[in-house]
Amino acid sequence: MAPSSYRPPTRGDKAGASTYSQSTDSNLSHTQTTVSKLLEGKGDAVFSVRPNETIHSVVNTLKERRIGAVVVTDQNGTLQGILSERDIVRRMADTPGQTLPQSVEDLMTKDVLSCTPDDLLNDVLKTMTEGRFRHMPVLRDGNLCGVITIGDVVHFRLKELEYEALRMKQMIVG
């Protein structure tokens, strides 16, 4: 039997009270995160190649830099296309033993979807997922200013979640 001073909680006991985890701002904060926020931590290094380079030289660049794609630019740095490991592997299946001497221009994706630093990460992630590609150039006023990967977005979001969990834990304990 409960002590006479015990009173079970009833509806309305915590009326008006909400925890951090229940606020709209906290639950949706990641939906407002922009590409520029991700680039602040990642940096804006972009590895580019020219359209007339060979696939062999690109394969070496991908291996040395430990990256999955390169952007293709002209001599002025204007985006011309993108070339990924996946593009190369598919061509190797189509032209076995003849792929490495081919030019980047022959394999690159010319219709490149890009984003801007002001785009929301959730929108970019949705575009990449629906388009089934993993690399997206970032353009500011038409100029290449970075490349983000689906892995960058996932990693960034995981860090946000870890930070939010830590803050909630501190609020509960503190």
- How does residue 165 score in pLDDT terms, banded at 50, 70 and 90? confident
For 17-65, how does the pLDDT look when each residue is reduced to its tens digit (9 = 90+)?
Answer: 444 444 444 444 555 889 999 998 887 788 899 999 999 999 999 999 9
Q: What is the residue type of 122?
A: N
Q: Give the C-alpha separation, 69 to 119, whole Å.
A: 21
C-beta atoms surrounding 88 within 10 Å: 20
How many helices and strands in the chain, by DSSP H and E? 7, 5
Task: Give percent of the chain above pLDDT 90.
Answer: 61
Element at 124 (helix H, strand E): helix 121-131
Per-residue pLDDT, averaged over 115-135, amounts to 93
- Of the candidates 35, 31, 38, the one whose C-alpha atom is nearest the C-alpha of residue 116 is 35
Confidence of residue 168 (pLDDT cuts 50, 70, 90): confident
3 versus 161: the higher-pLDDT residue is: 161
Residue in the block written with tokens 């904060």: 29
- The confidence score (pLDDT) of residue 41 equals 85
pLDDT at residue 45, as a whole number: 82
Q: Taking 90 as the threshold, does the pLDDT of residue 135 lie above it?
A: yes
